[in-house]
């Protein structure tokens, strides 16, 4: 019987060959840190709905979902048709377009708290701009971020992260205050003691789209009150949760309206794109007023070659209009619930210490027991971190790939509206087989 690793190598020879070539071209052979994998990552050729295929013709049920960008699965026919049409009409007209107006209206229809929008090319750009707008609007310098919360890779976003950060001047972190996640008292203390706080940014369902959950909804409501009292800008980073935690994101799911939201991934229908959206008076820090004192000194400058480009705009608009008009979130959430219940059943049946938790279509597994309600895990963040770092988790991910299931990172399933009971049940059978293989290797 081959080991999990031996089977992985044998099944993926085409990927191994490509990785040898890619290693001469890219640092660690990859173009995104999360795609780095030992002994080599997998190379995919195409996807359709909930499935995708690799260069060795292996088929996968996909839970990476385009790093979270695909709520409607791969190559949704309506999005594919709209993008194909637009390519023939021009990918960049160097001008304003109807498509950007349609895109913005589709966002506003789903997120009632949004008054104005500015488009970007990625989530990283959106969080950078949201922090800048908060600083410009309040005239203050510092932003609070929560420990382990991820907002992309620009200098400010990296403050307090669990990643290495050479190349980032310490001085950029002087304007960031890192607070423990989930502790309202800690945020209140910073806001009361430091008069230079412009705002706070957080992932509203917890770090890594809920892997390390927050006490919800009370924490969000508490932050809303605190920031209003202290005149600080509340920024929800809804890059992943936007249009996934609910059709209107975490803000609609929990009924707490932030001052600004950062959006990317689903917002652009599977193409590159991002946005800062929220209160008009804050987003309008970018607006020209025809007053030289304002325009030349106080206005926030914002160019960007691909802002609102017609391809991303049409893909985003079609995607969001479908989300608004069909029960797509409900479909994805129902399948995620079936998956979560099934995973918890397998852990119990096989007597393996582990559980699955999560909300909407974002499911996380932890190889440790917990008596939480399976929506919002109550384990300490250190315990979850520790459990996810185990070699058993690496083996499980590889074992799942051997079985034709590709998960997001080391522990997450992002379910789309195209996953059906067939995919979920096939995934559960694969999970049981992979878990058995991990146990056979003595890792559990």
Ligand X SMILES: Cc1ncc(COP(=O)(O)O)c(C=O)c1O
Residues that bind ligand X (CB under 6 A): 67, 122-124, 127, 150-152, 203, 237, 239-240, 264, 274
Residue nearest ligand X (C-beta atom): 123
Eight-class DSSP state of 413: E
- Judged by beta carbon, residue 360 or residue 430, the one nearer ligand X is 360
- Judged by beta carbon, residue 237 or residue 321, the one nearer ligand X is 237
- Judged by beta carbon, residue 127 or residue 403, the one nearer ligand X is 127
* DSSP per position, 40-95: ----EEEEEBTEEEETT--EEEE-STGGGT-SS-BT-HHHHHHHHHHHHH-S--SS
Q: How far is CA 197 from each of CA 173, 201, 284, 346, rounded to the nearest angstrom?
A: 13, 12, 20, 47
We find the least distance from the C-beta atom of residue 239 to ligand X, in angstroms, to be 4
Residue with tokens 């706080």: 197
Question: What sections of 184-309 are H helices per DSSP?
Answer: 184-193, 207-210, 218-230, 249-254, 280-283, 292-293
We find the least distance from the C-beta atom of residue 261 to ligand X, in angstroms, to be 11
Q: How far is CA 187 from each of CA 137, 143, 165, 231, rounded to the nearest angstrom?
A: 20, 11, 24, 13
- What backbone torsions phi and psi does residue 198 show, to the nearest 5 degrees? -85, -35
We find the least distance from the C-beta atom of residue 422 to ligand X, in angstroms, to be 29
- Judged by beta carbon, residue 244 or residue 338, the one nearer ligand X is 244
We find the least distance from the C-beta atom of residue 125 to ligand X, in angstroms, to be 7
We find the least distance from the C-beta atom of residue 374 to ligand X, in angstroms, to be 22
- Judged by beta carbon, residue 202 or residue 428, the one nearer ligand X is 202
Tokens standing for residue 26? 């890219």
We find the least distance from the C-beta atom of residue 273 to ligand X, in angstroms, to be 8
Residues 6 or more apart whose CB falls under 8 angstroms from that of 373 comprise none
Please give the Cα distance from 438 to 433 (Å, whole number).
9
**Interstrand relation of 116-120 and 274-278 (parallel, antiparallel or unpaired):** antiparallel
Tokens standing for residue 213? 């959950």
We find the least distance from the C-beta atom of residue 67 to ligand X, in angstroms, to be 6
Eight-class DSSP state of 232: P
Distance between terminal CA atoms of the chain? 18
- Judged by beta carbon, residue 19 or residue 150, the one nearer ligand X is 150
Q: How far is CA 340 from each of CA 232, 294, 333, 373, 419, rounded to the nearest angstrom?
A: 37, 53, 10, 12, 14
- Judged by beta carbon, residue 14 or residue 409, the one nearer ligand X is 409
We find the least distance from the C-beta atom of residue 153 to ligand X, in angstroms, to be 7
We find the least distance from the C-beta atom of residue 283 to ligand X, in angstroms, to be 18
We find the least distance from the C-beta atom of residue 4 to ligand X, in angstroms, to be 27
Tokens standing for residue 291? 């007053």
Tokens standing for residue 37? 């994998």
Tokens standing for residue 60? 């996968």
- Judged by beta carbon, residue 99 or residue 237, the one nearer ligand X is 237
- Judged by beta carbon, residue 275 or residue 396, the one nearer ligand X is 275
CA 218 to chain centre: 22
- Judged by beta carbon, residue 62 or residue 237, the one nearer ligand X is 237
């Amino acid at each position: 019987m081959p080991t999990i690793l031996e089977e992985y190598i044998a099944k993926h020879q085409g990927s191994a060959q490509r990785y040898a070539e890619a290693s001469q071209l890219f640092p660690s052979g990859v173009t995104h840190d999360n795609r780095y994998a030992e002994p080599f990552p997998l190379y995919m050729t195409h996807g359709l709905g909930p499935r995708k295929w690799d260069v060795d013709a292996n088929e996968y049920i996909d839970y990476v979902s385009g790093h979270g960008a695909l709520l409607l699965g791969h190559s949704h026919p309506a999005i594919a048709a709209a993008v194909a049409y637009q390519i023939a009409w021009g990918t960049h007209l160097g001008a304003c377009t109807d498509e950007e107006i349609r895109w913005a209206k589709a966002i506003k229809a789903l997120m009632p708290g949004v008054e104005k929008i500015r488009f970007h090319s990625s989530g990283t750009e959106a969080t950078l701009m949201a922090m800048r707008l908060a600083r410009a609007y309040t005239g203050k310098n510092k932003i609070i971020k929560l420990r382990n919360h991820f907002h992309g890779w620009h200098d400010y976003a990296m403050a307090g992260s669990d990643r290495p950060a050479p190349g980032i001047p310490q001085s950029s972190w002087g304007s960031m205050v890192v607070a423990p996640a989930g502790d309202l008292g800690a945020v209140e203390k910073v806001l009361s003691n430091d008069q230079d706080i412009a705002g706070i940014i957080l992932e509203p369902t917890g770090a890594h789209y809920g892997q390390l959950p927050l006490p919800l909804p009370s924490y969000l409501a508490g932050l809303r009150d605190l920031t209003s009292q202290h005149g600080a800008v509340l920024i929800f980073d809804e890059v992943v949760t936007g249009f996934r935690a609910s059709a209107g994101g975490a803000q609609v799911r929990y009924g707490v309206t932030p001052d600004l939201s950062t959006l990317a991934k689903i917002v652009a229908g599977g193409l590159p794109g991002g946005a800062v959206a929220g209160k008009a008076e804050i987003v309008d820090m970018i607006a020209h007023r025809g007053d030289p004192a304002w325009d030349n000194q106080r206005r926030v400058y914002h160019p960007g070659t691909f802002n609102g480009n017609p391809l991303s705009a049409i893909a985003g608009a079609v995607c969001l209009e479908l989300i608004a008009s069909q029960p797509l979130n409900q479909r994805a959430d129902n399948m995620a619930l079936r998956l979560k219940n099934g995973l918890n059943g397998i852990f119990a049946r096989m007597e393996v210490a582990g559980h699955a938790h999560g909300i909407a279509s974002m499911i996380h597994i932890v190889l440790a027991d917990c008596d939480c309600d399976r929506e919002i895990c109550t384990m300490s963040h250190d315990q979850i971190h520790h459990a996810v770092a185990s070699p058993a988790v690496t083996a499980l991910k590889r074992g799942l790939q051997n079985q034709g299931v590709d998960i997001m990172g080391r522990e997450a399933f992002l379910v789309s509206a195209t996953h059906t009971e067939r995919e979920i049940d096939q995934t559960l059978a694969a999970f049981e087989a992979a878990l058995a293989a991990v146990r056979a290797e003595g890792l559990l």
